[in-house]
Amino acid sequence: MKSITIQDVRLYPIAIPYVEPLRTSFGEEPFKAAVLVEVITADGISGWGEASVEIAPGYGSETVATGYHILRHWLAPKLIGKTLNHPTDVPALTKLVRGNRHAKHGLEGAVWDAFAKTNEMRLVDVFSAALGEDHASREKAWVGVSIGIQPSIEKTLDIINKRLGQGYARIKLKIQPGWDVELARAVRQAHPGIMLMLDANSAYSLADSEHLAQLDDLDLLMIEQPLGDEDIYEHGQLQPRIKSPICLDECIKSANDLRIALQVGAIKVLNLKPARVGGFTESLEIYRICVENQLPLWIGGMLETGVARAANVAFASLPGVTLPCDISATDRYFNPDLTEPPFVLQPDSTLLVPQGIGVGVDMEKERLEAAVAQWHERAPYPLG
Ligand code: OSB
Ligand code: MG
């Protein structure tokens, strides 16, 4: 495959309205914020990535300002002027920047897109080629939908009915102490047969084991990240005390974290977010570990805009991804998104992998400019 030379890296802090915000145990963001990354090659090809950082350091430690700072002053300079034989060369160049995985993913994602476009390939086919035989795309990603913390159980049941009516095959409910057992029981009673799961975003501690065991008879597909974001060991202590399979999200920031979690019995399902683990190179290694260990795997989301959503759909279409993903249709998040065409839910609860080269969706430049202006208008803090 053709190598690429990085000539420039451009950063776009953006703000766009959500169709509806997602309330989690760590709060709710008033609008979608991110730093979009454009890599320009010596051949004049643009590749797009997204550092899907949030306004507040609630889910992870990064914010729009840290993402922008790290990308501008520490990551971009390590790539500008370099020739890369493959996008998997990026981590070696940026490894002296510790942590800051969302920022790293934004830059690496832009390189993957530029590389795929240079080689006139779809991003998903570059992933498949890196994985080798038996990992061709299924051409679609199996998806579910995530429902935030609501004012009442009744309201939640209404939203679930709407989502099931739209064709989503799996429902994920955000929970927190005081909004958990009663809610899950009511939903299970109303919908005995649906694929149902809960996501606590680290809202509990090991002392809540017996409380969480009250969910045992609800046939949950999984409970996502019940304990602290650093508590791999404690999840290993919790799993034998509850029947619901534990899915880890926040805890798994690298392939090494996954190896440790497997070793201590802390994980039965993985939510892999390419953004959380620092990019697709690390994601591919994690994917291989899941396949080797027959660990059920799905792709999570950070309420990404179109470029990163497209890349996630591509990754989620790989055959080692075995459960419905947190990648819903565009109209669930933004109207309009920054890219075209939108992702539309198919009758079999899937999204189709775009056919165009690279990520396969086009950045709408005018919408991007407006979103940058929106960031500067609404920014809760300076970037520099
Ligand atoms: O915990 O999975 C999470 C969104 C932002 C931050 C954290 C999480 C989420 C989601 C996204 O749950 C769900 C979706 O894409 O609909
Ligand atoms: Mg989660």
pLDDT tens per residue, range 143-154: 999 999 999 999
Closest C-alpha residue for ligand 1 atom 5 = 302
Which of 211, 262, 271 minimizes the C-alpha distance to 236? 262
User: Within its chain, how far is the Cα of 33 from the centroid?
Assistant: 14
CA atoms within 13 A on the CB side of 135: 20
CA angle 186, 192, 194 (to 5 degrees): 105
Closest C-alpha residue for ligand 1 atom 11 = 301
Can 273 be counted among the known catalytic residues?
Answer: yes
Ligand 1 pocket (Cβ < 6 Å) reads 22, 59, 146, 199, 201, 249, 300-303, 326, 328
CATH superfamily of this structure's domain 129-362: Enolase-like C-terminal domain (3.20.20.120)
In whole angstroms, give the CA distance from residue 49 to residue 60.
19
Sheet holding 145-147, edge to edge: 145-147, 170-174, 195-199, 222-224, 246-248, 269-272, 297-299
> What percentage of residues in the chain have a pLDDT greater than 90?
100
In whole angstroms, give the CA distance from residue 308 to residue 361.
10
Query: Given the CA of residue 225, which atom of ligand 1 is nearest to it?
Result: 1
Outline which parts of the chain fall under CATH 3.20.20.120: 129-362
The residues, ordered by sequence, that sit 6+ positions from 234 with a Cβ below 8 Å of its Cβ are 205, 206, 227, 228, 266
The DSSP line for 267-333 is -SEEEE-TTTTTSHHHHHHHHHHHHHHT--EEE------HHHHHHHHHHHTSTT--S-BS---GGGT
pLDDT of the residue at 259: 98
When computed from its CA atoms, the radius of gyration of the chain, rounded to whole angstroms, is 20
Residue with tokens 């490894």: 95
CATH T-level assignment (fold) for domain 4-121+364-378:
Enolase-like; domain 1 (3.30.390)
- Identify the bridge partners of residue 170 per DSSP, sorted by sequence position: 195
- 72 neighbors 64 (Cβ within 8 angstroms): no
Residue 201 CA to ligand 2 center (angstroms) comes to 6
Determine how many CB atoms are found less than 10 A away from the CB of residue 256: 13
What token pair was written down for 180? 């958990």
pLDDT bin (cut points 50, 70, 90) of residue 384 is confident
pLDDT in tens, 20-35: 999 999 999 999 999 9
Residue with tokens 């690429």: 4
pLDDT in tens, 248-276: 999 999 999 999 999 999 999 999 999 99
Closest C-alpha residue for ligand 1 atom 4 = 302
Question: Which sign, positive or negative, has the C-alpha torsion 336, 160, 308, 230?
Answer: positive
pLDDT in tens, 275-298: 999 999 999 999 999 999 999 999
Closest C-alpha residue for ligand 1 atom 7 = 302
In whole angstroms, give the CA distance from residue 41 to residue 244.
48
- 225 neighbors 202 (Cβ within 8 angstroms): yes
Mutate to test the pocket of ligand 1, among 175, 199, 225 (most ligand atoms within 8 A of CB): 199
Q: Check 104, 117, 172, 273 and give the catalytic one.
A: 273
pLDDT bin (cut points 50, 70, 90) of residue 367 is very high
Closest C-alpha residue for ligand 1 atom 1 = 201
Quick one: angle between helices 101-118 and 280-293, nearest 10?
90
Q: Is the pLDDT of residue 352 over 90?
A: yes
Q: Check 174, 243, 253, 365 and give the catalytic one.
A: 174
pLDDT in tens, 84-117: 999 999 999 999 999 999 999 999 999 999 999 9
Mean pLDDT of 290-308: 98
The DSSP line for 75-123 is IHHHHTT-EESSGGGHHHHHTTS-S-HHHHHHHHHHHHHHHHHHTT-BH
Average per-residue pLDDT in the chain? 98
Question: Which sign, positive or negative, has the C-alpha torsion 354, 358, 359, 360?
Answer: negative
Outline which parts of the chain fall under CATH 3.30.390.10: 4-121+364-378
pLDDT in tens, 28-74: 999 999 999 999 999 999 999 999 999 999 999 999 999 999 999 99
pLDDT in tens, 329-350: 999 999 999 999 999 999 999 9
Can 104 be counted among the known catalytic residues?
Answer: no
Closest ligand, as measured to the CA of 249: 2
pTM over 0.85: yes
Closest ligand, as measured to the CA of 248: 2
What token pair was written down for 369? 């400019």
